[in-house]
Chains A and B, each alone.
Chain A
Amino acid sequence: NAGVTQTPKFQVLKTGQSMTLQCAQDMNHEYMSWYRQDPGMGLRLIHYSVGAGITDQGEVPNGYNVSRSTTEDFPLRLLSAAPSQTSVYFCASNPDRDNQNTEAFFGQGTRLTVV
């Protein structure tokens, strides 16, 4: 099982550049989300989606866009990269069946450096 796949694993951007972090899951999960991990801050939610065509903001959405055109894919777009967006980004998915308590499954992460 591939689970949650993120690409790329590493990326260096110049300030002002844009890019898309890819995330795909093959578990037919309805719920997908993006987190960033920073030292001393834990994982913070950027955006999430409860199904195709539905997205919403998390705790730290500024500077990021998302879309969900299919159940499998949930890309994260950085519109104009800033050094403050240097972080490790994790995509996660979990089933959303009648709000049952389930765990999230994480991808391997993308380490992004903005110079």
Chain B
Amino acid sequence: DQQVKQNSPSLSVQEGRISILNCDYTNSMFDYFLWYKKYPAEGPTFLISISSIKDKNEDGRFTVFLNKSAKHLSLHIVPSQPGDSAVYFCAAKRYTGNQFYFGTGTSLTVIP
């Protein structure tokens, strides 16, 4: 059973606008969450993470929000740029382990 879910397979956004990518999880033991970005024919690269002791983490244009009660996290990209067009995976893990659980990915297209 999929413990990390990304229900939107794709998203299109105009350049300069905000992109919001969503992720839900079912395992309440998860306490560390990450977003990865993947271009075609390349491996995923780490983008941003958040620990369960926080509800927000920012890194430049990227902000991740965590709502533990709803078991939901989101990635905000502001402003969106054409180079942000990629597949975004969210992932989760438990503090006491190193196994990552990945969502199915959301393909973001930023339209110039």
Residues on A facing B (Cβ under 8 Å): 4, 6, 31, 33, 35, 40-45, 48, 50, 58, 90, 92, 94, 96, 99, 101, 103-109
Contacts and interface: CB of A to CB of B under 8 A. Distances in A.
A58 B99 contact: yes
The secondary-structure label for the interface of chain B is loop
Contacts of A92: 43, 100
A33 B44 CA distance: 14
A70 B103 CA distance: 31
Contacts of B100: 33, 43, 45, 92, 104
Given A42-B2, A42-B104, A108-B41, 9 more contacts: A42-B6, A42-B102, A42-B103, A99-B95, A103-B34, A104-B100, A106-B43, A108-B42, A109-B42
A37 to B, nearest CB: 9
Contacts of A104: 46, 100
Contacts of B4: 42
B26 interface: no
B41 A109 contact: yes
A32 to B, nearest CB: 10
A94 B98 CA distance: 8
Bin the interface of chain B by size.
Answer: 20 to 34
A43 B99 CA distance: 12
Contact of B44 (A31, A43, A94): A43
B43 A101 contact: no
A101 B93 contact: yes
Interface of B: 2, 4, 6, 9, 32, 34, 36, 41-46, 49, 51, 89, 91, 93, 95-100, 102-105
Contact of B95 (A94, A101, A103): A101
Max count, chain B CB within 10 A of own CB: residue among A4, A35, A101: A101
A109 B42 CA distance: 7
Max count, chain B CB within 10 A of own CB: residue among A44, A104, A109: A104
A99 B51 CA distance: 13
A28 to B, nearest CB: 15
A108 B43 contact: yes
